[in-house]
Structure 1
Amino acid sequence: MLNEKVPVVIHNTLEKVFESARLSNSKTDIESFYTELIQSPLYLLSDASDPADNEDAEELAGQGAQSISIMQWYIDLEDGDAFPFTPVFTSQQALDAAKTQMEKEGTEYHGQLELEASTVLQMLVNADSDIMLNPNTSLSKAIDENEIRYMLFPSVGLIEHRGQLQIVGEVLNAGLPLLDVLRQMLSSYSKVNAAYLIDSCRLDFQKSCSDHQFYLGLTFDGTDNADELSRIRSEIFNIHRKIELNGWDITVHLVETGDEMSEYLLAQTSPFYNRSLMSRIKSWFS
């Protein structure tokens, strides 16, 4: 790993939007960065004595990071251990600057690879490898697994909710015990029309993701739903006693027009719970 911070000169559109996103932390600039990144080539160091050429590397990448000998760097920890990560560069010039500094510090490398971003990100997330763009430079950033999901999967969204940027995605695991617990709970509420479940994390572009939680989106028949909504929120507190959620909270969200969370739920996800026809008929005569 480099010991001295290396300045980065902007050489391409990716680095230009990268710098804008870092400076503004605005949704528009961050979306532009992710869009540009996933369409761009990325540059990596190889520690193989005879590194594959780029065409072979694209094919071998499907077999995993080890198959093309991607070089890792290490951060020394206070307890004496070393934390590994994969350095990834946004231009040939950024990579060359790192190589020059490595030569000054006496750090060996054997070659380089240029791969499409989608290949790099999918390969490294499958390998459970932490990723750092342009590490130890003036234009660096850790790439979180949630950010990779956002770039690779169209169903994952970036929304602004309560003044915070959040990466959100539909919970697709049909066998998740939480879904059955929620269905059983919601079946006792006559006005709940449909329910959606998504996972969410708060995005700080410069620091990555935090505050993971579930959002339970609810639609109701009519507008007289305050009592049921309040009771459901109270019941949610008991869910943690029934099922292990790994510390994740569940927040109830009333789905209605005019907010990005509701728009995402209605446009890009499907309800895991719909009130049965029999329940509807009973409510009409109650």
Structure 2
Amino acid sequence: MPFQFDHLRTLTTLVDEGTFEAAARRLHVTASAVSQRVRAMEQSTGKVLVRRTNPVRTTDAGDVVLRYARQVLLLDADTAAELRTGGGAEPVSVPLAVNADSLSTWFLDALAEASPGADAVFEIHREDEEHTTSLLRSGTVMAAVTSTPEAVQGCAVAGLGTMRYRAVCSPEFDARHLGGRADPELLPGAPVVNFDRRDDLQDRFVRETTGREPSGPRHYIPASEDFARTVLLGFGWGVVPESQCAAEIGAGRLVELAPGHPVDVRLYWQRWNLRSPVLDRISEAVRAGAAARLHPF
């Protein structure tokens, strides 16, 4: 079933912007025109593609068409770039999903290596590494940093390396809650800092080192650098990326809990299995950046 190019662009813009009015402003048309284009696609497929919520959400059928739409737009941009002899073409929008710790430590540096020649603009979706694959399945993003080694349908997967975390606390916190000897056996009842309610790294560390379930008070700090600072300020203990706490440990501003037991998270790069100079360049830069900053498997 053929789709008009303008209709495909309208669907991706609607999903990205979230509302018919916002999509209309970006496309320089009326909201009614956006609605008519989406309705025409739904009539062509015989399925509802978009739930009219705020923001809009794609249905299962909409996910399939959204993936197709983004692939068509990417191929169109690649073709235009290869044929272009002068400037003027609009850079392709490349949506990517990345976990917060990678985003704040190594990913942006890697992406910067790709940016000058990629002729792209980036839309970063910050999501836990265990959940970024859902954005790939839905067609929301073209590639993702994930902890899932099994390839999403239609995607290729490559290992990036291991992100190492250290369980740490401030010396003052140690004195108040851990007996002044950084005793891991006291962690289950001690105040802890979590990134959000899906963050399992701290609980995982407690289970692995003590064999017990954590029960202490919890702070939730959903920003990577702020999370590390919260631990440094003594609100609670936490599992912090090694690159964000190594210097503080060395200077005595943080105390490492169970130094012989780091928490390692294996990371993978999943991308659409589609030949694209833009996506190829980004993938090469991400793999190179990961190799320079992460521990090997």
Same fold (TM over 0.5): no
How does the TM-score come out when normalised to structure 2? 0.24
Name the structure, 1 or 2, with higher relative contact order (CA <8 Å, separation 6+). Answer: 2
Per residue, is there more helix in 1 or in 2?
A: 2
